[in-house]
Amino acid sequence: MTAPAGSPDPPGLDLTRLRGFLDQEAPGLAHGPLSGGLIEGGRSNLTYEVTDGESSWVVRRPPLGHVLATAHDMGREFRVIHALAPTPVPVPKTYAYCPDPDLIGAPFYVMEKVPGLVYRTAEQSDRLGPRRAAGLAGDLVDVLADLHDLEPDAVGLADFGRPAGFLDRQLRRWRTQLDASRSRPLPGIEELHARLTAAVPQSAAAAIVHGDFRLDNLMVGPGDRIAAVLDWEMSTLGDPLTDLGLLVVYWDTPHTAVANAVHAGAGFPPSAVLTARYAARRDTDLTRLPWYVGFGYFKLAVIVEGIHYRYVAGQTVGAGFEKIGDMVGLLVELGHEALGAR
């Protein structure tokens, strides 16, 4: 939500410096003093709505403190959104990117504010009903399939990642992130990592992967159609089934602080319906999908533990962080369940 004109700068965003940057990089975009506020709901990068009183935009920057640089690369996020503009994958229009961390304290970028609704809560999704929820779920899967069908070199992203050895690097990366965020015992998480490492599947053909594809990273517009895919901070080139596996994790995880808009009471179909639609769209063999779901649980457990770490250190901005650390143990156990008996 934006703040009234004259209100203090939101944490992590100097509005006066932002206005000077926009006047230089996007002349004529803003026409008056800026006001703005944090958009609640995000748990990683910070997202703000900024307005000059006539038009509004969105600004994205990394979180305050304890940042793994490769997980909060604003330049990569800006690049992929810009590259996808002419494709069937709906994304916001981009305006400007600032790599200089000195301007507001971190690199950031400015993009279009897409009208619509982000479904974050059960109260919001309860209004859908089975027919609309099923239609929205189908469109969600189709957008993911459209993304994975793109040829990276055709949209200027041939060098956006290193597909060879992708899954092994992902396991190492998220283990490194876990070690950087560890502040307490986490029973079972070492074993989960070891089980995943011992059974890495052969990757599917490389694709542009979002890295955190879920309902509340999508802006839903008229007709319950996806108006924009948001939060590209973990996008790269790699195994597309990592996106599908993580989508299943979010879809199937019980009502939690991370994913509570998707639940059976709102009329959403089970995840098996989504994965079957994806497999049919892309002619994909899903025999090894349980490994990708298990990896999704491990990855989400590490992400949540990092958020908990920043919360304990007093480095989070916004509300709703006080209980998020309680989820990590559940996510680890669900990861083991996805991989089968141990």
Dump pLDDT digits (tens) for 107-156. 999 999 999 999 988 999 999 999 999 999 999 999 999 999 999 999 99
Query: Does residue 66 fall inside a structural domain?
Result: yes
> What's the mean pLDDT in 57-84?
81
Q: Would you say residue 88 lies in a domain?
A: yes
d(CA 61, CA 103): 12
Q: Among candidates 300, 45, 295, which has minimal Cα distance to 170?
A: 295
- State how far the Cα of 15 lies from the Cα of 170, in Å rounded to an integer: 36
Q: Between 221 and 69, name the one with better pLDDT.
A: 221
**26 and 146 co-located in one domain:** no
Q: Domain containing 80 — which CATH number?
A: 3.30.200.20
Asked if 92 contacts 109 with a C-beta cutoff of 8 angstroms, the reply is: no
Q: Are residues 70 and 193 in the same domain?
A: no
Placement of tokens 């962080």 in the chain: 321
- On the question of pLDDT at 100 being above 90, the answer is yes
In a domain, 5, yes or no: no
For strand 35-38 and strand 46-51, is the pairing parallel, antiparallel, or unpaired? antiparallel
Q: What is the pTM of this model?
A: 0.90
SS3 117: strand
- Same-domain status, 105 and 129: no
- Same structural domain, 106 and 213: no
| 282 and 166 assigned to the same domain | yes
Average pLDDT of span 292-302: 96
Shared domain for 275 and 295, answered yes or no, is yes
Question: Do 102 and 133 have their domain in common?
Answer: no
**Domain annotation covers residue 6:** no
Does 161 lie in the same domain as 37? no
Chosen domain end from 87, 112, 137: 112
Mean of pLDDT values over 286-295: 98
pLDDT more than 90, % of the chain: 77
Same domain, yes or no, for 75 and 127?
Answer: no
Q: What is the pLDDT of residue 66?
A: 44
Asked whether residue 32 falls in the same domain as residue 155, the answer is no
> What CATH number corresponds to the domain at position 208?
3.90.1200.10
320 vs 160: which has the higher pLDDT = 160
pLDDT computed for residue 193 by the predictor = 98
Domain carrying residue 56: 15-112
Q: How confident is the model at residue 6 (pLDDT cuts 50, 70, 90)?
A: very low
- Please tell me the predicted confidence (pLDDT) of residue 332: 96
Which residue is it, tokens 């990366």?
173
The count of structural domains within the chain is 2
Do residues 263 and 125 touch, judged by C-beta distance below 8 A?
yes
Neighbour count for residue 185 (Cβ, 10 Å):
6
Is residue 212 in some structural domain? yes
| Tokens linked to 95 | 């305006």
Q: Check whether 79 has a pLDDT greater than 70.
A: yes
Do 126 and 104 lie in one domain? The reply is: no
Band of pLDDT at residue 41, cut at 50, 70 and 90: low
223-279 pLDDT, tens digit each: 999 999 999 989 999 999 999 999 999 999 865 556 689 988 899 999 999 999 999
Q: What angle do CA 136, 257, 142 make, to 5 degrees?
A: 20
Answer with the one of 112, 137, 153 that is the final residue of a domain: 112
Domain limit, last residue, from 112, 145, 161: 112
Which residue in the block uniquely carries the two structure tokens 């089975």? 130
Closest CA to 225 of 33, 90, 74: 90
User: Is 3 part of any domain?
Assistant: no
Strand order in the sheet with 35-38: 35-38, 46-51, 56-61, 108-112, 94-98
Instruction: Note whether residue 8 is domain-resident.
Output: no
Question: Does residue 79 sit in the same domain as residue 216?
Answer: no
The DSSP bridge partners found for residue 111 are: 58, 94
**Is position 1 within any domain?**
no
pLDDT band at 182 (very low <50, low <70, confident <90, very high): confident
